[in-house]
Amino acid sequence: MGRLGIIAASGTLPLELAHAARLQGERPFIICLNGQADQDYSAFENVSFAPGKLKAVTAALLEKSCNRLLLAGKFTRPSLSDLKLDSAGAALLGRLALKGDDKALRLVSEHFAQAQIKILPNTDFLPNRILPNNYHFGRAITPTEGAALTLGVNVLSQLGALDVGQAVIVQQDRVLAIEAAEGTQGLIARAAPLIDASADAAVFVKMAKTQQDKMLDIPVIGIATLKSLAEAGISVAGVTAGQTMLADPLEAIEAELSVHGLVLTTLLESSCKPSGIAEHAE
């Protein structure tokens, strides 16, 4: 069996995956993306490349006999002017330009597959980071909040095939914002001024898109998102059971929830129907 490679963007998840893989007998080789990776990978064999150096990245993985690959961390798309493309990066860019996240990731996956490198789901190495059915932490959800969660699920279900985004913010029966190219943090910042503090709590819903490849881009929620929700005045978060990965250990997530008085609840795993919304206290 060949070696495991990890392409690391920002956040602690790539480093945690590297440690978990090592415990499973792997010798992970880390590709740090310049301007993205922000952890200390000195305990592992690693190199750094600009995001546009696709040919160099692929060559480095093959040189180290990597035939399996994890894509981990929060990747922020650089502007075209900031990209330093090699020939493979330039060739792929023409196909990637202005694509949605799902289509872009599939094209990247196809590129590595042609080099006999298979992208694996991060959950293969951190299976305990998946929220199960009926997970609920915090106070009970009010009927109005439950209805808002249902509306959020329905909105994302309708948009899922369009490769728009994974998240939506709803207050009562009003959709405040839908995630687009700005990502989850940008979505929360954009919605914050629209929240009516005198009304029932606004809710945040995040779920996999209809056509999303869960191996390439499973929805992730972590402490950074929870802090942003609290700062924006959003107290309830609903995520897909069995299809949402925690960016941080559950104990740390629950500590953050407690500090801010937030609610985290799961939606029905198979279809995200409204009946899957947990409405009981922890």
pLDDT at 37 (0 to 100)? 93
Residue 211 banded pLDDT, cuts 50, 70, 90? low
The answer to whether residue 273 scores a pLDDT higher than 90 is no
The least confident of 13-22, 122-131, 262-271 is 262-271
Q: What is the mean pLDDT of residues 228-247?
A: 92
As a whole number, the mean pLDDT across the chain is 85
The least confident of 84-88, 131-135, 215-219, 223-227 is 84-88
The Cβ of residue 231 has, within 10 Å, a number of other Cβ atoms equal to: 12
Q: What is the mean pLDDT of residues 56-60?
A: 94
Matching residue, tokens 């093959």? 62
Q: Taking the CA of residue 151 as centre, how many other CA atoms within 13 Å lie in the half-sphere pointing to its CB?
A: 20
The answer to whether residue 54 scores a pLDDT higher than 60 is yes
pLDDT at 49 (0 to 100)? 92
Distance CA(78)–CA(179), nearest Å, equals 18
The answer to whether residue 271 scores a pLDDT higher than 60 is no
Strands of 42-173 (E only): list them: 45-49, 66-72, 118-119, 136-137, 167-171
The Cβ of residue 116 has, within 10 Å, a number of other Cβ atoms equal to: 10
Q: What is the mean pLDDT of residues 100-124?
A: 82
H or E stretch including 264? strand 263-267
Question: In angstroms, what CA-CA distances link 253 with 41, 140, 191, 192, 229?
Answer: 24, 18, 23, 22, 13
